[in-house]
Amino acid sequence: MNRPDGRQNDEMRELTFTPNVAPHASGSVLVSFGNTRVICAATIEESVPGWMRYQKVEGGWLTAEYSMLPYSTHDRKRRDISSGKLDGRSSEIQRLIGRSLRAVVDLKKLGSRTIWLDCDVLQADGGTRTASITGGCVAISIAINKLMSAGKLNDFPMKSLIAAISCGVYEDEVVLDLNYPEDKAATVDSNLVMTENLSFVEMQMSGEEATFTDEQMAQMIALGKKGVSEIVVKQREAILAADKAGPADLQDLAAAFGR
């Protein structure tokens, strides 16, 4: 089988991180999985939601917002504000992003703070939710490192890195990191969220008017673990590089877009 972009079945798209793309955020990164590009920006507020104060819940909170910019797809996508509400897909994805990242952040160690993670899709070519989780982890790690450097935290609240990757059955074969043509034609689609030690946080796996076998499920899980192991290495590199780099400039962004 030939994949649309010529990759092997177990091969991810090119993965890059460009840190510090949003200088007013506490931590930010442009994450690119091939032609899928998402800006993930973490902002830390020195307060917690009202429900936490009312219920006297210790620690802090982490929440995510996800949006596809109108020009991120081939046909212009209407902004949610145009219809007056968040569409169902975006709502489901931002809940996934938030609960995935809360799984690896010790909110009590965070203190009475809120981490807002904004994930804005600049270009969509499949896997925007997995890219958002993967890039979100990097953005939050950068933001927390800044808090630690400023002496505002005593203990590092990140328990683990976390990453996500898609797998699926395309033309009767199990493949890793589906791009849009593959995702559109896949008979089985899965999104796997894992920690750096390959513990599962969430698995989304479903047939598209089709079924899948135990063997195919095992193959998707094995490919997912391979992908996450590769991603975590690059996440660590990006987090370390962000500490040494200044704000990203236009040259950095142009390079991230392959120009």
Structural domains of the chain, ranges and CATH numbers in brackets? 15-246 (3.30.230.70)
Per-residue pLDDT at 146: 94
Say which range, 43-57, 128-142, 156-170, 216-230, has the weakest mean pLDDT.
43-57
Does residue 31 surpass a pLDDT of 50? yes
Per-residue pLDDT at 106: 97
Confidence of residue 129 (pLDDT cuts 50, 70, 90): very high
Confidence of residue 259 (pLDDT cuts 50, 70, 90): very low
60 marked as part of a ligand binding site? no
Q: Buried (b) or exposed (e) across 55-75, using 16+ Cβ within 10 A?
A: eeeebbbbbbebbbbeebeee
The larger pLDDT score, comparing residue 79 to residue 202, is at 202
* 114-123/61-68 β-pairing: parallel
Per-residue pLDDT at 154: 87
Q: Taking residues 180-200, what's their average pLDDT?
A: 96
Percent of the chain with pLDDT over 90: 81
129 marked as part of a ligand binding site? yes
User: How many CA atoms lie less than 13 Å away from 213 in the CB half-sphere?
Assistant: 6
Confidence of residue 255 (pLDDT cuts 50, 70, 90): low
Asked whether 214 and 256 are in contact (CB, 8 A), the reply is no
Per-residue pLDDT at 254: 54
Distance CA(41)–CA(20), nearest Å, equals 9
Does residue 74 surpass a pLDDT of 80? no
Per-residue pLDDT at 78: 73
Nearest to 228 by CA among 248, 208, 198, 259: 198
7 marked as part of a ligand binding site? no
Q: Taking residues 9-19, what's their average pLDDT?
A: 97
Per-residue pLDDT at 76: 76
16 marked as part of a ligand binding site? no
Does residue 72 surpass a pLDDT of 90? no
Q: Buried (b) or exposed (e) across 36-49, using 16+ Cβ within 10 A?
A: bbbbbbbbbeeebe
State both tokens at 167: 């797998």
Does residue 227 surpass a pLDDT of 70? yes
Does residue 73 surpass a pLDDT of 90? no
Q: What is the DSSP letter of 3?
A: -
Nearest to 182 by CA among 3, 1, 2: 3
